[in-house]
Structure 1
Amino acid sequence: VISNFGIFIIETKNYYGWITGDDYSDYWILTIAKYERKMINPVRQNYGHVQVLKNLLKDYSNISYYPIVVFTKRSIFNVKTGTDVVYNTDLLTTIKKYQIEAISDDLKDKIYKYLINLNIKERRLRKDHVIRIKEKKKNNKSKIKNNICPKCGGLLVIRNGKYGKFKGCRNFPECKFTTNL
């Protein structure tokens, strides 16, 4: 959403069940009755979208970016995060809490037209884009398996944390990449 107050990057999830997680986990846990399954951390997923937009709009340094993760009322979430994680019924209220105007109507229109022009319209190009994302994910898994940080190329080492052992980048605190063992 491009508004006069900034750009809202909204990640929507339509899950049913109990959802737990935090900012730093690769995955959140979705529990339905006694069954658990992993879901990709939507805060981290949305962070990636924000970084792409910041890169695309790097000429506009005064823009504020507001990531929001939205779940339907079919879920109950218990998450520890600094990002807005809300129900779909609370989305408008969440957006309206940002009141400092930073983008003129002209700039808003310019950004909109620029982003629309970048949108992948051809089916083949869109399919190629999805394939590249899957290849990158596979490459990242391979790097992790070989104890190489997929973010900075540093060495992954086993660390002890509050909730047990995990792999973290040796270049911490410059690189904050972590993954479960």
Structure 2
Amino acid sequence: MVVIIGILLILAFVFLLIFGKSTAEIRGEEGEKIVRKKLNRLDKNKYTIINDVVFNINGKKSQIDHIVVSDFGIFVIETKNYKGAVYGSESSYNWTQYLFKKQFKLYNPIKQNQGHIYALQHVLKGLMPLDFISIIVFTNRSKLKVKAQTHVIYTQKLIRVIKLYDEVSLNNYMKEAIIETIKKHNIKDNN
């Protein structure tokens, strides 16, 4: 009986390794779900939310957590669900996370999101000059110690920051063309 239980535990572990998600992936999805709920509070007539977009640009994949196409520009949102204190600046290559007296390096999310904006510009090239607003959103699990011009905020400030942008720059025709182009190039939806 003990052998059978042992074998079942080993099989369950192997199954999780092959088909399961890592803890980081699960935490990331949890953070994205929190942000998705916040974004769903926006006026649907002015804001169109597209979640979890993946582009293939010249053989390189770019995964964007959230794109909000609005009357006021295009918001490109990167979600982070880290625990502990996070230190960084606009220009540093890496940021540092301090957790339980340990130190971890993470790629600067502002630079990461800039890569997402470049991918989005590539997909939308030729449509028109567009305004992109980069926002990095952290859940409340972290304590931010970041110096940056780019919006690096907690989830509870997301809607307030988006609504800071109130100058109309896109009409309905332009928004529809942008949304259709994003959806057409989103390989996550096309598989």
TM-score range for the pair, normalised by the shorter chain length: 0.5 to 0.7
Q: Given the superposition, is the C-alpha separation of residues 122 and 9 from structure 1 closer, same or farther in structure 2, using an over 3 Å criterion? A: closer
Q: Which amino acid aligns with 1:5?
A: F
Whether 1:11 and 2:81 are equivalent positions in the alignment is: no
Using the alignment, how far apart are the partners of 1:112 and 1:80 within structure 2? Answer: 32
Note the 1:100-179 alignment, pairs <5 A: 100-121=167-188
Distance in 2, matches of 1:91 and 1:122, equals 26
Of 83, 108, 112 in structure 2, the residue corresponding to residue 41 of structure 1 is: 108
Equivalent residue, structure 1, for 2:164:
97
Does residue 1:50 correspond to 2:117, yes or no? Answer: yes
CA distance in 2, matches of 1:79, 1:21: 5
User: For 2:139 and 2:184, how far apart are their aligned partners in 1?
Assistant: 31
What SS does structure 2 have at the residue aligned with 1:39? strand
Unaligned stretches of 5+ residues in structure 1: 126-181
Q: Runs of 4 or more off by more than 2 Å in structure 1?
A: none
The alpha carbon displacement at 1:69 in A equals 0.1
Q: Paired residue for 1:72, among 125, 130, 139?
A: 139
TM-score, length-normalised on structure 2?
0.62
Fraction of identical pairs, as percent: 38
CA contact (8 A) 1:12 1:71 kept: yes
**2: CA distance, partners of 1:113 / 1:35:** 45
Aligned length: 124
Deviation at 1:60, TM superposition (A): 3.1
Residues 73 and 88 of structure 1 are in contact (CA less than 8 Å); yes or no, is this contact kept in structure 2? yes
Three-state SS of the structure 2 residue aligned to 1:85 is strand
Please give the alpha-carbon distance, in whole angstroms, between the structure 1 residues aligned to 2:188 and 2:114. 24
SS of the counterpart of 1:99?
coil
The match for 2:91 is: 24
The whole-number CA distance in structure 1 between the counterparts of 2:142 and 2:135 is: 16
Deviations 1:104-143 (A, max 9, x none): 11211111011101011489x7xxxxxxxxxxxxxxxxxx
Report 1 or 2 for greater relative contact order, CA contacts < 8 Å, sequence distance ≥ 6: 2
8 A contact 2:183–2:189 mirrored in 1: no
Return the alpha-carbon distance in structure 2 between the equivalents of residues 4 and 22 of structure 1.
30
CA distances 1:127-167 after superposition (whole Å, capped 9, x unpaired): xxxxxxxxxxxxxxxxxxxxxxxxxxxxxxxxxxxxxxxxx
Q: Any conservation in 2 of the 1:62–1:102 contact (CA below 8 Å)?
A: no
- Structure 2: runs of 5 or more not aligned: 1-67
Match of 2:158, as an amino acid?
L
Q: Distance in 2 between matches of 1:51 and 1:24?
A: 17
Aligned residues: CA RMSD: 1.6
